[in-house]
Amino acid sequence: MTTTPGAGADAHYDAIVVGGGHNGLTHAAYLAKAGLRTVVLEKNDLVGGAAITEELLPGFSFTTFSYALSLLRPEIIHELDLVRHGFLPLMMPSSFHPTGDGGHLLFGDDHAQNLQEIRRHSPRDADAYERYHHDLDRVCQAVRPLFDNPPPDLWGDGPQDAADVRWLLEHLGGLDRSTVHDVVRLLTGSAADWIQDYFTHPAVAGYHASSSVIGSKVGPMSPGSGLVLLFHKLGEHDGHLGSWAFHKGGNGGFTQVLARAASAYGAEIRLGADVTDLITHDGRAVGVALADGTELRAPVVVSALDPRRTFLELCDPRELPLDLVDNVRRMKFRGVSAKVNFALDDLPTFPGLPDTRDHFGGFLNIGPTIEYVERAFDASKYGWYSDEPYIDAAVQSVVDPDMAPPGKHVMSCFVQYAPYELRTSSWDAERERFGDRAQAVLESHFPGFGELVLHREVVTPVDIEARTGLSEGNIFAGEFLAPQMYFFRPAPGWSQYATPLDGYYQCGSGTHPGGCVIGSPGRLAAQRVLRDRRDG
């Protein structure tokens, strides 16, 4: 899928979107749907950015980077009519947590059976389970409006800004005391503290901490991990809060759906189009220049890249206010996540469940206890990778058989911690050794694992950066912690998708509400662009 025939270098556009990741595609689809002649410029030969699926071995599809779907806003599915273009989120029916001592926790779709599973380990924790989910869901519902609307501009002086602030205060004022307190606990505290208020059994607590460190340079005991946990619970699958799905064909399957939708609305997608510079005139964006020397013109240019690239690379920082430049320079990226993806000859074996295979239906959470994950984190503080990493794995061919040839499997492993900068070596030197560490951990839980491996792909933060442009391999396009969220994402005063340059906008994961395959930045930024056009 490349271009609309006849569109040459001199074609005229209403809007140029830089970057064909899922946010760029979402954004372009909305603009095109509103009637704007829109072009997406993607440097790679494939759209999707961090959400791609690649056939590395004939018949084996790898989710190179991101691997599951939940945060995608349901509005987008309907507003862009994605089902018509092949949107198909498949249920991941189970969640499996080896407890490290040969035992396990296995969760499924039946609430009573899940309770029983916890009761097997700790009757007390089983009692806490429903309360835990109730409290967490309540927090999710409380923050959802913040999540789904642009942050008010606290420093703005327009009538709309005042109204936005009032809206926010009214919303917060409408929440009851304990909800507000729980919100703050999660926004500022550690996942461990939050979880241990409910659960005492180390494995049960460990299971619940599983999403508290994803993509972030924190351990479950670090302040901030509460927010990471909360963020990963804000999504849904078919109305089930916090549930994750696997899109048919992986997240790359999903971005192909988006590309089809964008094209159907009339957007043009150009692959192999590496944008080097924003072209400005009198403080206004007027177009972009590509690496091959091509220039394209449009009154609206939208960067779907991360803030560092949006403000420090595409445009000349000297054209921007100092405080913005300073804030973007100080923004933390420091990716710590890697992928180790496998093609497997057969399903692995978990000795505690020799006769069933249904525990491979969803996430395999290899991080038995909070302490295990915290120790895995330790190394990264000192510029090294975990000896025994935490792994969020999924045998995706169980959920979607089309991911691998009959009887064979693909397994995606999201592995932490792998700091972008290694203190005493380089990722080129360590890549396969790191892959070995991850594989050794899998071997310890699934004996014989190594013999099943047909192919292994190790993707380090350096590789993430090189392929997608996500600075320092940060999966969220900038750390997702309190100093870099909401009013401050990507910088105070610039959280509403505009930039100081007229006609230049931002719609990547570095804007509110942040990373993941979520689409909101693309959607909310489109609303902003269209409103500005309407208001002249």
**Cβ distance to another protein smaller for residue 230 or 288:** 230
Among 13, 15, 16, 22, binds ligand FAD (CB under 6 A): 22
Residue among 41, 35, 42, 30 nearest 14 (CA): 35
Residue 355 Cβ vs another protein, minimum distance, rounded to whole Å: 10
**Cβ distance to another protein smaller for residue 84 or 329:** 84
**Cβ distance to another protein smaller for residue 241 or 482:** 241
**Cβ distance to ligand FAD smaller for residue 367 or 515:** 515
Please state, in angstroms and rounded to a whole number, the distance separating the CA atoms of residues 218 and 213: 6
Token code pair at residue 111: 């609430």
Main-chain dihedrals φ then ψ at residue 399, nearest 5 degrees: -80, -40
Among 35, 103, 407, 448, binds another protein (CB under 8 A): 407
Note whether 101 binds another protein by CB under 8 A.
no
- Binding pattern for the stretch 53-92 against another protein, x by CB under 8 A and - elsewhere: ---------------------xx-xx----x---xxxxx-
The answer to whether residues 299 and 39 touch, using CB atoms and an 8 Å cutoff, is no
Token code pair at residue 387: 């000896």
Q: What angle do CA 514, 515, 521 make, to 5 degrees?
A: 55
Q: What DSSP line would sit under 141-186, residue for residue?
A: HHHHHHHTSPPP-TT--SHHHHHHHHHHHHHHHTS-HHHHHHHHHH
- Binding pattern for the stretch 79-108 against ligand FAD, x by CB under 6 A and - elsewhere: ------------------------------
Among 54, 109, 274, 371, binds ligand FAD (CB under 6 A): 274
499-520 in b/e form (b: 16+ CB < 10 A) is bebbbbbbbbbbbbbbbbbbbb
Note whether 193 binds another protein by CB under 8 A.
no
User: SS3 of 128, please?
Assistant: helix
Residue 371: CB atoms within 10 Å: 16
Please state, in angstroms and rounded to a whole number, the distance separating the CA atoms of residues 133 and 156: 37
- Binding pattern for the stretch 238-257 against another protein, x by CB under 8 A and - elsewhere: xxxx------x---------
User: SS3 of 97, please?
Assistant: strand
Token code pair at residue 302: 């939208």
Residue 90's alpha-carbon distances to 331, 399, 401, in angstroms, are 36, 7, 11
**Partner whose binding site includes residue 464, from another protein, ligand FAD, none (CB under 5 to 8 Å by kind):** ligand FAD
Note whether 391 binds ligand FAD by CB under 6 A.
no
Note whether 337 binds ligand FAD by CB under 6 A.
yes
Instruction: List interacting residues with another protein (CB under 8 A).
Output: 74-75, 77-78, 83, 87-91, 93-94, 108-110, 113, 137, 141, 236, 238-241, 248, 356, 358, 361, 397-402, 406-407
Binding site for ligand FAD (CB under 6 A): 18-24, 41-44, 49-51, 65-68, 71, 273-275, 304-305, 337, 339, 414, 464, 468-470, 475-477, 508-509, 515-517
